[in-house]
């Protein structure tokens, strides 16, 4: 069983008795299943948001350490890195999760919602790399090792850029274009 199906099935299994009874009503079942898919997607993105927030905190700690040690040559780049964290993280946190209005020409169907869940799960791998790199950078900074700070900043900027570019493809996934 795929992880996507596992999350969806788990959410479905945790429906209350009343919800299970309502799910047997024609029309409501499809609505409820779409809701569960949207909620699953939201949970995944909330998890990514929390992980990136933790990584951002590590970067802020590094920024503080660099400031205390008066290592001026990388502070502007660190500021840029923090802003990039903020922008990417907020985009993920506030992204749409599969709603289409009643009169919208393009309806978001279950298969597209499943594709969106799979897509967002794929973002977890990229997020994990960012978290590990941020943690490593903080460990080095706490040991007052700053000789490769610029390279670490550049690597994190590249990883965040990659995550943002991947996330930009999300709307195409929702529309079924990818």
> 12-26, 69-83, 163-177: which has the highest mean pLDDT?
69-83
CA distance 126 to 108: 26
Among the listed ranges 5-9, 74-78, 88-92, 102-106, which one has the minimum average pLDDT value?
A: 102-106
Residue that the structure tokens 């590590």 belong to:
58
CA distance 68 to 61: 11
Neighbour tally for 13: CB within 10 Å = 8
Number of domains comprising the chain:
1
CA distance 136 to 145: 11
At residue 100, the pLDDT reads 41
CA 42 to mean position of chain CA atoms: 9
81: Cβ contacts below 8 Å, ≥ 6 apart = 59, 153, 156, 157, 160
Q: Buried b vs exposed e over 47-86: b needs ≥16 C-beta within 10 Å?
A: ebbebbeebbebbbebbebbeeeeeeebeebbeebeebbe
Residue range(s) defining the domain that contains residue 85? 3-175
At residue 31, the pLDDT reads 57
- pLDDT for residue 21 is more than 70: no
* DSSP designation for 72: G
Give mean pLDDT, residues 127-135.
97
């Amino acid at each position: 069983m795929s992880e996507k199906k596992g999350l969806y099935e788990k959410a479905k299994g945790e429906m209350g008795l009343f919800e299970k009874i309502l799910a047997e009503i024609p029309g409501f079942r499809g609505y409820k299943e779409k809701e569960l898919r949207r909620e699953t997607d939201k949970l995944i993105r909330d998890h990514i948001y929390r992980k990136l927030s933790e990584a951002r905190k590590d970067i802020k700690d590094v920024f503080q350490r660099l400031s205390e040690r008066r290592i001026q040559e990388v502070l502007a780049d660190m500021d840029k890195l923090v802003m990039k964290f903020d922008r990417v993280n907020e985009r993920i946190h506030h992204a749409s999760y599969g709603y289409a209005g009643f009169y919208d020409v393009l309806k978001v169907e279950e298969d597209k919602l499943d594709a969106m869940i799979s897509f967002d799960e794929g973002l977890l791998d990229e997020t994990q790399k960012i978290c590990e790199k941020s943690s490593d950078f903080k460990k080095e900074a706490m040991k007052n090792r700053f000789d490769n700070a610029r390279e670490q900043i550049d690597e994190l900027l590249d990883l965040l850029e990659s995550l943002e570019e991947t996330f930009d493809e999300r709307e195409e996934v929702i529309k079924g274009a990818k």
